[in-house]
Amino acid sequence: MINHFIKIAQELSVASKQVTATVSLLDEGATVPFISRYRKELTGSLDEVQITAIRDRIQQLRDLDKRREAILKSLTDLGKLTPELQKQIDEAETMVTLEDIYLPYRPKRKTRATAAREKGLQPLADLVIVQTKVDLQAEANKYVDAEKGVNTPEEALAGARDIIAETISEHAEIRAQLRELFIEKGSFQAKVVPGKEESGIKYKDYFDWTEPVKTAPSHRVLAMRRGEKEEILYLDILPPEDEAIALLDRTFVTANNSSSDQVRLAIADGYKRLLKPSMETEARLLTKKRADEEAIRVFAENARQLLLAAPLGQKRVMAIDPGFRTGCKVVCLDEQGKLLEYTAVFPHTGAGQAREAEKTVKHLFETYKVEAIAIGNGTAGRETELFVRNLQLPGVTIVMVNESGASIYSASEVAREEFPDKDVTVRGAVSIGRRLMDPLAELVKIDPKSIGVGQYQHDVDQNKLQTSLDDTVISCVNAVGVELNTASKQVLAYVSGLGPQLAQNIVEYRNQNGAFKRREQLKKVPRLGDKAFEQAAGFLRIQGSDNPLEASGVHPERYSLVEQMAKDSNASIRDLMTNEKLRKSIPLQKYASDKVGLPTLNDIMAELAKPGRDPREQFEAFSFTEGVNEVKDLKVGMKLPGIVTNITNFGAFVDIGVHQDGLVHLSQITNRYIKDPNEVLKVHQQVEVTVTEVDVNRKRISLSMKENEPKNNNGTARKPLPSTQQNRGKKEPETDMQSKLAALKAKFK
C-alpha cells in the first residue's frame, strides 16, 4: 500500500505523508469537508479538491488491486501463470493494460479459432506464424482429416489463419498501439438516417458531420450519441485504416514467402473481423467516459454556483407561481419560510378578475407586511411581474426566480411530508419563495439533476454524476454552515458525518425536547455517537446560545483553547470576538502544539472575527427590460440585462426574460481569448448582452457580451480575470473546484 501513497503523492505533487494521513482519516470515516477544515495539521493543509482527488485515486488503485488478484487467481487455477506473466500483471498500472494482458487467457465463448484448435490445427498455425521457407501446401496436407472436419489443405490453412487472426487481435502491445491510433487519428462520422430529416431537425448540425476524435468536445460527443440512440443518426468512428494495417504488417510479417502471404491474409481478416470492431467499441467507451467526465464537471460547477447564490435572507415573502388560464398561486411566508396563507388570483383572464387579483394581492401585502415578492419565471412569469410592478407596492423588492425543479419538489415525498394537505401548486409556490430566501436550503430538497443547470445529464454515467453532485452539495452545505434549530432534515442530511437517518433523529429530538442550547446536546440524539459528533459539530450553528462559540465555526474540541486565550487576555470570549486589537495581541505561537498548529489557530482567529460567516455574496435585486417578454419582441442590436442560468464548455446561457434562454458563445463572451466561460462568468451572475441573431422557428437566440463589460451582482463592472485570481481571498467553495479536480485527475492518466 505504501507504493500507492508514493504514486499518488507524485501524481498530485504533494508529500507522501500528506497522502498517508489523508487516506488514514478517510478510512476512519472522516469526510472531505471535515478533513479539509479541521485536520490541517495532519494533512499539511490540503484543500477539498486535493482530498477528493486522493479519495478517488486510492479507490481506483484499490479496485485495480482487486482485479489484479482475481486475474492472478484465475491464471493460477488454469495453470497458465508464469513468472514472466506475473511480472507483467504486477507492473500493470491501468485496468485497460491489465485486461489486455489477461485477454488471451480469459475463458471465452466458442470462436473460429477455438474450433480450429479443436481440429488440431494449432501446430500448423505455429508453423505459419514463424514464416520459415517450407512447402506450405505439403505441410497443410498433413492436417487433412475428414473425421475432424478438415477436408482439404485449404481448409487446414483457413483454420490456421483463424488462430493467427485471434492471436494477433489479443496481442497486448498491438492493442495498446491501435487504441492510441483510433483516439489520436480517428474521426467521428455522423450521418442522418434516411427519412429522419424532418423528425430529427434538432440534430441538423450532425446530418453530415466529420470531426477528429481527439478534439471533439464533450457536448458534441454526447449530442451525436443521443442522436444515434434516438435513431436519427448513424455514428461511426473511422480510423486511419492504412496506418493500422501497416502497423500490423510491420509487427507480424517477418519474411516474404508463402507463409507470409498467409499471415497477411490473417492480418486483414483479424483486423476487419476482430480488432477494428473491438477498437471502435473501446474508442466509443473512452470518448464517452471523457465526455461524461467533462459534462459532469461542468454540471457540478454550475450546481455549486447556483447553490451558493446570494440569499435574500429572513424576510417576509409573497411568492407567486404564475399562470394564465389556471391563475397564479399566491402564498405568504414568514421570515423562517413558514406558510401563512395561500390563495389563487387571475390577473390575466379579464378586467374583472384582474381588479379582484389586484385587491387580493394588496390585501395580502398589507396584512403580512410583505418585504419581497418572488415570481416564478415560467409561463406567464413576465406578465405577472408587470402586473405586480404596476401595483406600485411601497418598499417591496420584486424578483423573478428561476423555478426549475419547483414542480419536481411539489410532487415529491419531501413536499408531501411538509404540506400533506396542500396541493402541488401551493407547494410549488412555497418552493419559489423559499428559493429566494435561501437557495441552498431549498434546492437540497430536490434531485440536483432537476435544478436546471448542465446539459445531457440523462446521458452521462448516472452513478458518477450522483457522486459528483453529492460531493458538491455536501461541500456547499458545510461551507455555509447549518443552523441546528431551524434546518430541515434534508439540509441536515448533507452535514458532515450525519446522513438521512441521523438528520431525522435530530429533527425528532428537537421537536420533542425543544431547541438545542449547546452542540454537546447532540450526543443525546439517538444513534449519534462520538464519531458523528466529531464530524458534524463544527458545521452546525446555534444562534442565541449563552456561549457565542456555538454560533461560530470553531469546533467544540477547541473551545478550551479559546477559553484559555480569553483567560490569558483577562477578557471574555465575546470580548475576543468584538475587539480586533485584543485578537491581534494574542501570541498564537504560544498556543501551538503537536495537535494544534498555526493553520488551525489562524482559522480560529478568523472565526472569532466573523463568527459563522456566510461565504455567499450579498443579495442584489434584478429586473428584466420592460416590454420584452417574448422571443418575437427581440430585435437584433438590442442591449438587454440578463441572468446567467447555465455555463457550458462552448458558452453560457442567459435568461433575458422571454421564456427562452439565449446563448452567448465562448467567442462572444469577451474580446480576449478564453478557454473556459468560468474564467469570466458564473451561474446567477447579472450581465448585459446584445442580441445578434433570433431564430423564432428553432427558438434560438444568439447573444454577445463583447461590447458589454461583465458585471457583478451589484451591477458594478467585473474585470475578466483568470479563475485563480478571480477567487483569491475567497473561501474554497466559491472557486471552480470541479475544474481544479479535473486538472488533478488528469495527472492520473
Can you give the CATH number for the domain in which 386 is found? 3.30.420.140
Question: How do residues 664-674 score in pLDDT, each as one tens digit?
Answer: 999 999 988 88
pLDDT value at 422 more than 70: yes
Same-domain pairing of 171 and 259: yes
pLDDT at 746: 61
pLDDT tens figures, 309-336: 899 999 999 999 999 999 999 999 999 8
- Residue 411: predicted pLDDT: 87
Are 187 and 276 contained in the same domain? Answer: yes
241 and 214 within one domain: yes
The verdict on residue 448 lying in a domain is: no
Which residue did the predictor score with more confidence, 493 or 720? 493
**232, 193 contact by CB (below 8 A):** yes
Has residue 165 got a pLDDT over 50?
yes
Q: What is the CATH number of the domain that holds 290?
A: 1.10.3500.10
**More reliable by pLDDT, 243 or 696:** 243
User: What's the pLDDT at 709?
Assistant: 52
Q: Which three cell numbers stand for residue 413?
A: 415525498
How many domains does the chain contain in total?
Answer: 5
Helix ranges, 44-152 (H): 48-78, 83-91, 95-102, 112-118, 122-130, 136-141
**What is the predicted pLDDT for the residue at 729?**
33
663 pLDDT higher than 90: yes
Q: Is the pLDDT of residue 715 over 60?
A: no
Please indicate whether residue 74 or residue 729 has the higher confidence score (pLDDT): 74
Task: Establish if 107 belongs to a structural domain.
Answer: no
Asked whether 488 and 322 are in contact (CB, 8 A), the reply is: no
* Predicted confidence (pLDDT) per residue in 81-134, tens digit: 999 999 999 999 999 999 999 999 988 889 999 999 999 999 999 999 999 999
Q: At what angle do helices 737-748 and 2-12 cross, to 10 degrees?
A: 120
Report pLDDT for 84.
93
- Report the alpha-carbon distance of residue 120 to residue 159 in Å, rounded: 9
In a domain, 105, yes or no: no
39 to 44, 52, 175, 194, 534: CA distances (angstroms): 8, 14, 45, 61, 11
Residue 308 in any domain: the answer is no
Q: What is the pLDDT of residue 744?
A: 62
Query: Based on the domain organization, do 147 and 291 belong to the same domain?
Result: yes
Confidence of residue 723 (pLDDT cuts 50, 70, 90): very low
Assigned C-alpha cell, 711: 458585471
- Give mean pLDDT, residues 336-359: 93
User: Do 687 and 714 lie in a common domain?
Assistant: yes
295 and 164 within one domain: yes
Distance CA 626, CA 390 (A): 11
Q: What is the pLDDT of residue 748?
A: 57
Report pLDDT for 79: 92
Same domain, 219 and 275: yes
pLDDT at 1: 47
pLDDT digit string, tens, across residues 286-298 = 999 999 998 898 8
Mean pLDDT of 519-527: 96
Residues 28 and 123 in one domain: no
pLDDT in tens, 596-655: 999 999 999 999 999 888 888 888 888 888 888 888 889 999 999 999 988 888 899 999
Give the C-alpha separation, 118 to 121, whole Å: 7
Distance CA 223, CA 257 (A): 49
Average pLDDT over the chain, rounded to an integer:
89
Q: Is residue 620 part of a domain?
A: no
State mean pLDDT over 339-352. Answer: 93
**130 in the same domain as 30:** no
Q: What is the pTM of this model?
A: 0.82
Share of the chain above pLDDT 90, in %: 71
Answer yes or no: are the C-beta atoms of 746 and 57 closer than 8 Å.
no
Find the domain containing 137 and state its range: 112-302
| 720, pLDDT greater than 50 | no
Taking the C-alpha atoms of residue 526 and residue 508, their distance in angstroms, rounded to an integer, is 10
Q: What is the CA radius of gyration of the chain?
A: 32
Per residue in 143-162, pLDDT (tens digit) is 999 999 999 999 999 999 99
- First-to-final CA distance of the chain: 20
Q: Can you tell me which residue has the cell 450521418?
A: 191
Task: Encode pLDDT of 728-748 as tens digits.
Answer: 233 334 445 566 666 666 655
Q: Return the pLDDT at 34.
A: 96
The residue among 562, 577, 609 that closes a domain is 609
Residue 663 and residue 725 in one domain: yes
Helix, strand, coil share of the chain (percent; to 5):
55, 10, 35
pLDDT digits over 526-578, tens only? Answer: 999 999 999 999 999 999 899 999 999 999 999 999 999 999 999 999 999 99
pLDDT at 429 over 70: yes
